[in-house]
Amino acid sequence: MNSAEAAEYQTTNFGLNAGIGGVLNLGRDVDLLFKAKYHNILTPDGSTSFIEPLLGVDIRF
């Protein structure tokens, strides 16, 4: 990695995000979790955006 590439990774940019999620009860002790977040990172050349999905299982003992 040269110094120009390293400088690109050492900057911090302002960004916005929003998300939505839910829980589906699969039984007395098990839930299915699902979430999605939309990220928008503001850069000098415009913006970069991506969607972050999350899926999980919550088991209670």
Domain boundaries, given as residue ranges, for the chain:
12-59
What is residue 45's predicted lDDT score, i.e. its pLDDT? Answer: 87
Tokens 């415009």 found at: 46
Q: Give the residue from 41, 32, 38, 34 showing the smallest Cα distance to 19.
A: 38
pLDDT > 70? residue 4: no
For residues 16 and 9, the answer to whether their CB atoms sit within 8 Å is: no
What is residue 12's predicted lDDT score, i.e. its pLDDT? Answer: 84
Residue 60: strand, helix, or coil:
coil
Percent of the chain at pLDDT > 70 equals 85
For residues 58 and 31, the answer to whether their CB atoms sit within 8 Å is: yes
pTM score, whole prediction: 0.66
Q: Sign of dihedral through CA atoms 5, 11, 12, 16?
A: negative
What is residue 44's predicted lDDT score, i.e. its pLDDT? Answer: 86
